[in-house]
Amino acid sequence: MRKIITGILIIITAVSVVTGCSKAENAADYIAPALASISADEPTMQEEEPAAVQAIAFIEETAGETAIETTEKITETTPVTTAATEASTETVAETAPEPPPLPPVVIPQKPPRAANDKWLALTFDDGPGRYTQKILDLLEYHGGRATFFVVGAYVWNQRQVINNIIAQGSEAAGHSWHHYNLTQIDEQAVKDQITYTDNAILSITGVSPPKFFRPPFGAYNNIVREAAREIGTAIVLWNIDPRDWQRRDADYLYDYIMDKAADGAVILCHDIYETTAQAMERVIPDLIEQGYKLVTVSELLGETLTAGLIYYSEKHILN
């Protein structure tokens, strides 16, 4: 027991040095009676517990303000989800109930366009990044719009770019908060990844983000779909993928996109690569020259999508 309390005194002294606390003498006075009361015979654990609890309470009182302040700062900047931890303690013997069936496909209301108009949506994932503004400037100069699927953890540091996206006429949609593979986390954590990002976009721009999001890696399962359905959002993927994250070659990207471009297409790119921005210097004006109107996903698919459904393009919807 004497060793334990002596150790506690050392801990308190260290805490007082780190936190600048002036209560070190009080700590010694507080625990000294416990030392004096120790007899030659070791007390039982039942006798030890109150003294230990009181000493720990004093340590918490001494260092608590610093710990609370630090915790509050972390909480303000990084959403924390405990659902996965809590789920791990639950019994897994029970079979999870089947989610309710998804609603039928509803063809959304779309802006009117002539029969011979060709529309497609350029989309950019994983930003805002170093090259987002350059792509926005190209879209502005040539009269196009796009959809930027942004990572929630980045948006505050790039809030001016997020506002520029909206001001230019493009749109910012969610791409999760941490860029996790959403199929590897539980349903509540999936909901948090989506809603935290949407809330961040709204708080910065004052504009509600569209009611769809894009999961990182395009990864989804029934849990992701059910989470999306319950919070009222659809899943937007793509039907043209030049794999610009893998092929860092502006000429290759240009050739691939121009060859695959089609009316109603959703093209996947990333605004975090220089080669992608370089390719856009030709892709954007040349698509427009070929008669394509570069629109947002909301314009292409309509603003009212069915929650939980998966949209690959204007013509390809997975129920």
Note whether 176 and 301 are same-domain residues.
Answer: yes
Lowest mean pLDDT among 97-111, 129-143, 177-191, 242-256: 97-111
Q: Is residue 194 part of a domain?
A: yes
Note whether 53 and 169 are same-domain residues.
Answer: no
pLDDT at 92 > cutoff 70: no
Note whether 143 and 43 are same-domain residues.
Answer: no
Q: Is residue 206 part of a domain?
A: yes
Q: Is residue 138 part of a domain?
A: yes
Note whether 173 and 63 are same-domain residues.
Answer: no
Closest CA to 79 of 165, 158, 203, 191: 191
Query: 171-217, pLDDT tens digit by residue?
Result: 999 999 999 999 999 999 999 999 999 999 999 999 999 999 999 99
pLDDT of res. 7? 52
| 253-269 average pLDDT score | 98
Three-class SS of residue 81?
A: coil
pLDDT-derived band at 34 (thresholds 50, 70, 90) equals very low
Domain boundary among 51, 69, 87: 69
Note whether 193 and 284 are same-domain residues.
Answer: yes
Nearest-5° Cα angle at 306, 300 to 310: 70
Q: How far is CA 7 from CA 28, 31, 46, 56, in A?
A: 12, 11, 19, 12
| CATH code assigned at 179 | 3.20.20.370
pLDDT-derived band at 111 (thresholds 50, 70, 90) equals low
Give me the active site residues, please.
Answer: 125, 270
- Alpha-carbon torsion angle 226, 229, 234, 236, nearest 10: 0
Structural domain containing residue 158: 118-318
For residue 318, the surrounding DSSP H or E stretch is: strand 317-318
Q: Is residue 294 part of a domain?
A: yes
Lowest mean pLDDT among 83-92, 177-186, 230-239, 252-261: 83-92
Q: Is residue 96 part of a domain?
A: no
Note whether 175 and 240 are same-domain residues.
Answer: yes
pLDDT at 305 > cutoff 50: yes
Domain count, the chain: 2
Three-class SS of residue 148?
A: strand
Phi, psi angle pair for 130, to nearest 5°:
-65, -30
Q: Is residue 163 part of a domain?
A: yes
Q: Is residue 284 part of a domain?
A: yes
